[in-house]
Structure formats: C-alpha cells, structure tokens
C-alpha cells in the first residue's frame, strides 16, 4: 500500500509495518532499517542479535543521546495490512498494527533523514547513537546483549509508551527482582500422613503473613505461580512458588524482597521441610526527578508543539530498564499510538508526523 499524498514518515511507517517481525523473526526489519540508514550515508551495523546500531555526529561539546526503538512486535503480527481511515492508521482488524514500536522506528528514521538531507546545523545537534533493538517484547534480549563498550551516551530517548497522549513522558521505571522458592517436604500416600511432610499447611501459613500487591507508592509485589500437589490421594511434598517485586526505589526493592524470603524461611524452619530460594535481578530501574535538567528541556520541547505533557511513573519493564542497568537513563516519550497489542491498535497520521518533528527538535536543542 502506497499513497502518494501521504508524507515520507507515513510512507515509511506503512512500509515497515508490512515487514513481519514478531519477536525472534526480526531479520527483515533489521535489514530494512540498515538499508535505509546506509542509503542516507550513515555507518550502520547489525550485531549478531539483530540489533541495528548507527552513529550520527554532532557537536562534540554536547552530550551524546541514544535514540532507541524496538524492531519486534507481538503476535498476531504477520501479514499486517494497514489502512488509513478518518486520519487514523489501523490494521485490517485481524492482526495488531505494529505501531508498538514501528511508530518510533519510522519517526526516528525520518528524523535522521531530515537532519542529513538538510545538513542541519552540526553545532546545534547532540551526537546521536541510534539503537534499534530486537526481542523487546519477550525478555528485552536485544538490549540485554548489546555491546555497551561501544555506547557513550548516558542519556537518551525511547518512544515506547502507548495509550496515553503524544508527548507524555515516562520518568521512572522499576527495578525488578524475580523470586523462585521451593519448599521441600516429603510426599506420601494419603493413608499414611505420619510418613509425609506436607508442604501445603506451611505454604498456607506463609501466604497469610505476606503483604502482596501494592506495598507503597514505589513498590509492588506479586506471587504469580504456585504449584503444589500431584494427585488427589497424594500428600504434597513439594511446593514451587514464583513471585516478583518491582520498585522504583532500589533500597525498597531489596527490603521487600528480603521480607518475603524471611517469611518463607521462618515458617519452614518450624517444620521438617527445607526451603531453597533464588533471587534474580531481572533488570535495573530509574527515576528522573521533576527538576532534572533533561526532563525540563524535554517538557519545554514537547510544550512547543502545543502539547501539555504529563509525567508518568511506570511499573512496566522495557528496554529502558536494561539500559538503566548499564548507566544510560532514558526518557520514554509517548508516541501517540493507542491500544498496543490489540487488533484495535492505531495511530493518528497527524501524531506520527508530529512525533518525527518532536524527535527532530529534541536532538537539535
């Protein structure tokens, strides 16, 4: 589908949403994006995980910025047929649209094209490190495997916030711990309870003592998986419990994680069972203060488009969390897309165009 009346960024978007790229199958997108950047004269590399990395020089006295979007989509994301209806770009209704995150991919590509073709003032522009990642939707593996020795930026922008207004700014994302607990008792036949160590009452006692859900303004916890028991006539001798804690305050993350573990250990030691615990720090988090210079500058630029950006605290995890773990603080600016991961996913033509102008201003200020 190509419409001569549509702008360059919209044409790019319509083209790339038709390149299938569910997580793990991003090769076509990696190539397309590399070709685009190569053609406009950037040195571009695809790493062994399919991430596309390019550099654009700017004023060396200005701080380099990373610009990031992810190349993968969720399913059903194959054979996407975009259409424009009343100023909105939508899918056929049988697939997602892929606006998450191809709105940002198209807008970044258009920004770079514009900068290069206009020969915009190098002195005004921040040096740019452009990183398109794979596998964001499933484990952030592209970002996790990036070679950070090659990245200089300590600040950056991603555009991976859906279902809020264009230009709203995500200023925090949580640190995240996964907790794997196993209570090891002894199973036995229901007719011989004395020979067994039943883990069910132990688990039941712990769970009544745990605070789960919202712990504070900054911290959430959840027990998401519990597996106990094998058969109706068998006394459960083993419990698998998997939970998580997410917090925008690292100290609180650790306090709440330790509290959960402590409750399990306390209860198990009163019994004949044993317990094993594994805590996995899945990703780092970050929090920008309202008076942070980078936030103030970003708000100003967004406001210059007549928008009133809201500052959003998020409890979701994305590539930005992985970057945070490597010392790069990202502001994620909402791309204007709505209803990500659904058949109703959509983006306004005018918002897509405004997003690319917005990115242009963010990197030239």
Q: Which residues bind Zn ion (CB under 5 A)?
A: 100-101, 160
Least distance (Å) from Zn ion to the CB of residue 207?
A: 33
Q: What are the two backbone dihedrals, phi and then psi, of residue 269, each rounded to the nearest 5 degrees? A: -65, -20
Least distance (Å) from Zn ion to the CB of residue 314?
A: 12
DSSP state of 148: G
Least distance (Å) from Zn ion to the CB of residue 100?
A: 4
Nearer to Zn ion among residue 183 and residue 355 (C-beta): 355
Nearer to Zn ion among residue 182 and residue 335 (C-beta): 335
Helix (H), strand (E) at residue 84? strand 83-85
Least distance (Å) from Zn ion to the CB of residue 190?
A: 49
Nearer to Zn ion among residue 6 and residue 101 (C-beta): 101
Least distance (Å) from Zn ion to the CB of residue 151?
A: 20
Q: What are the two backbone dihedrals, phi and then psi, of residue 35, each rounded to the nearest 5 degrees? A: -60, -45
- Nearest residue to 16 via CA among 43, 52, 48: 52
Nearer to Zn ion among residue 96 and residue 196 (C-beta): 96
C-alpha span between 230 and 73 (Å, rounded): 37
C-alpha span between 269 and 281 (Å, rounded): 26
Nearer to Zn ion among residue 96 and residue 275 (C-beta): 96
Nearer to Zn ion among residue 160 and residue 244 (C-beta): 160
Least distance (Å) from Zn ion to the CB of residue 42?
A: 24
C-alpha span between 332 and 317 (Å, rounded): 12
| Beta carbons within 8 Å of 189's beta carbon, 6+ residues apart | 195, 196, 233, 234, 235
C-alpha span between 259 and 253 (Å, rounded): 10
């Amino acid at each position: 589908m190509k419409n001569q009346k549509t702008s360059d960024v919209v044409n790019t978007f319509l083209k790339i949403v038709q390149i299938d790229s569910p997580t793990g199958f991003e090769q076509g997108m990696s190539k397309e994006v590399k070709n685009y950047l190569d053609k406009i004269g950037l040195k571009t590399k695809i790493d062994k995980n399919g991430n596309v990395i390019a550099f654009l020089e700017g004023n060396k006295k200005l701080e380099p910025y990373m610009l990031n979007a992810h190349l993968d989509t969720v399913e059903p994301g194959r054979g996407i047929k975009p259409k424009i209806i009343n100023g909105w770009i939508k899918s056929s209704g049988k697939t997602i649209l892929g606006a998450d995150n191809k709105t940002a991919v198209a807008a970044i590509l258009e920004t770079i094209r514009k900068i290069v073709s206009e020969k915009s003032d190098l002195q005004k522009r921040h040096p740019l490190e452009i990183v398109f990642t794979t596998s964001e939707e499933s484990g952030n593996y592209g970002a996790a495997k990036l070679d950070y020795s090659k990245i200089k930026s300590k600040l950056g922008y991603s555009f991976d916030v859906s279902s809020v207004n264009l230009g709203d700014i995500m200023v925090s994302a949580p640190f995240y711990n996964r907790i794997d607990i196993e209570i090891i008792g002894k199973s036995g036949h229901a007719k011989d309870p004395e020979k067994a160590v039943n883990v069910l009452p132990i688990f039941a006692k712990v769970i009544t003592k745990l605070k789960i859900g919202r712990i504070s303004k900054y911290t959430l916890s959840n027990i998401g998986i519990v597996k106990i028991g094998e058969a109706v006539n068998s006394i459960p001798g083993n419990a698998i419990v998997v939970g998580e804690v997410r917090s925008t305050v690292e100290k609180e993350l650790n306090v709440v994680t330790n509290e959960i573990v402590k409750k399990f250990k306390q209860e198990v030691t009163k019994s004949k069972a044993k317990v094993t615990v594994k805590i996995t720090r899945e990703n780092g988090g970050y929090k920008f203060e309202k008076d942070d210079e980078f936030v103030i500058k970003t708000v100003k630029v967004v406001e210059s488009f007549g928008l009133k950006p809201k500052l959003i605290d998020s409890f979701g995890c994305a590539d930005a969390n992985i970057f945070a773990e490597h010392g790069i603080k990202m502001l994620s600016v909402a791309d204007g897309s709505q209803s990500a991961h659904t058949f109703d996913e959509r983006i306004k033509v005018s918002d897509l165009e405004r997003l690319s102008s917005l990115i242009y201003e963010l990197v030239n200020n």
